[in-house]
Structure 1
Amino acid sequence: MTEPRPRVWYAAYGSNMHAERLRRYLAGGRPDPGARELPGCRDPRGPDRSVPVELDGQVYFAAESAVWTGGLAFYDPDTDGTAWGVAHLLTAGQFSDIAAQEMYRRPGTDLDLAEVLATGRCEVGPGRYETLVCPGHIDRIPVLTFTAPWPMPPADGLRPPSAAYLRHLAAGLHEAGAWRPAAVADYLASRPGAAGHWTPEDVAAAGVP
């Protein structure tokens, strides 16, 4: 009799909210758009479930994406606000392999989740998506995500996202089915980094792939 697989909820708040893009991280292949071929996970199966989530904290846009040519989404759990996302029910091994690919590491090694589960935070490395965060639980299963090690920067450290990136984020939020299109446009346009550069009307006009 096989042992049950440890499971976690992977809370995506960026482009991996989008089911087709997440599938590339699970099964491998080149996302569209994408600059590199992803090796995928040891276990390529899709999530057992995907549910909309609202987390304490703030999603903001900063840094520079080589793929999207604009700011990337990051999550600061310590800043006031509400972060919308999609939580995918995966094995701990799948989460480890997705995180490795986001960290530009080779998948295949399980992350040690003891620290993040005990304290809510763990820095695996100094990179953009190398800090693990546990913002809570769903059905007594831990919710995990990854973000940058730094807090949300001041206004001059933010960067507006591109239209292509916003389309993927909007599509992922629409797929979740919890928010009306107008609410999604309002939400994305009001995130730090996007606010003042994108209006809800502009986000809506950018369309959904």
Structure 2
Amino acid sequence: MQRVWYVAYGSNLAFDRFRCYLAGGRPAGGMREYAGCRDTREPERMVSLEVPGGLVFAGESRVWGGGMAFYDTTAPGLVAGRGYLVTADQLGDVAAQEMRREPGGEFARELAGLLTEVESVHTMGPGRYETVARVGEQDGVPMFTVTHGDVAELALAAPSTAYLRWIAAGLREAHGWNGAQIADYLSAAPGVKGAWTVEALTEIASPRRPSPGTRR
């Protein structure tokens, strides 16, 4: 069974939120119930990492309201991520759910099957998370994330409080950052910059964690 690293950079940085993609359920503050993967096993390992690129908030989330996080492969800088060691089929099912498609459906199977061929970036369609980017290797296993094919064409939009709280929780878990570090990082991201103050972001990034939400 092929193993891959799924690299999260948005709300899935927080493991409790990512579990909703794996096992099904609704994350706290979210407006959607997730079906979960066909294989609901938890990741074999988790690693903290940074990948070259930029974090951008754009569009409108039907789960959180406000802008969604995207990984800009062409931007300078580093994006704070978290790698989950999962199967290729699990990654396919996660990406399918990002696009409100059926786990195990045609899109999920196609994505899982093409991972061995992706050397840099592969766009499967025009949807907001229909592009797969290979961002490196960890212990000889390829690392992938999903994003939009042309982030620059998206309309910037400020993310909601609930969404930012999950991202902040994930940055604390994965990187051990404090509120000031999280606020500095997020305040520089297009879509957040100019829409949220550093003071407000520091408050959002306070140590309280969102509740796990409901899971099956």
TM-score (norm 1): 0.90
Amino acid at match of 2:134: C
Alpha-carbon displacement from aligned partner over 1:84-139 (angstroms, at most 9, x marks no partner): 11111111111111011111110114324546744311112210011111011111
Distance in structure 1 (CA, Å) of the matches to 2:20 and 2:63: 15
Amino acid at match of 2:43: P
- Structure 2 gaps of 5+ residues are 211-216
Alpha-carbon displacement from aligned partner over 1:147-203 (angstroms, at most 9, x marks no partner): 01113348xx31111111111100011011343332112101111110112222211
- Structure 1 gaps of 5+ residues are none
Are positions 1:23 and 2:27 aligned together?
no
The 8 Å contact of residues 70 and 151 in structure 2, kept in 1 or not, is answered as: no
Partner of 1:182: 180
The 8 Å contact of residues 55 and 71 in structure 2, kept in 1 or not, is answered as: yes
Partner of 1:125: 125
Amino acid at match of 1:131: T
* Bigger relative contact order (CA 8 A; separation at least 6): 2
Are positions 1:88 and 2:102 aligned together?
no
Distance in structure 1 (CA, Å) of the matches to 2:176 and 2:117: 27
Distance in structure 1 (CA, Å) of the matches to 2:55 and 2:82: 13
The 8 Å contact of residues 10 and 87 in structure 1, kept in 2 or not, is answered as: yes
RMSD: 1.8
* TM alignment of 1:56-67, pairs within 5 A: 56-67=52-63
Distance in structure 2 (CA, Å) of the matches to 1:118 and 1:97: 17
What percentage of aligned pairs have identical amino acids?
A: 48
Distance in structure 2 (CA, Å) of the matches to 1:81 and 1:117: 26
Deviation at 1:67, TM superposition (A): 2.3
Are positions 1:136 and 2:136 aligned together?
yes
Aligned residue among 51, 67, 71 for 2:67: 71
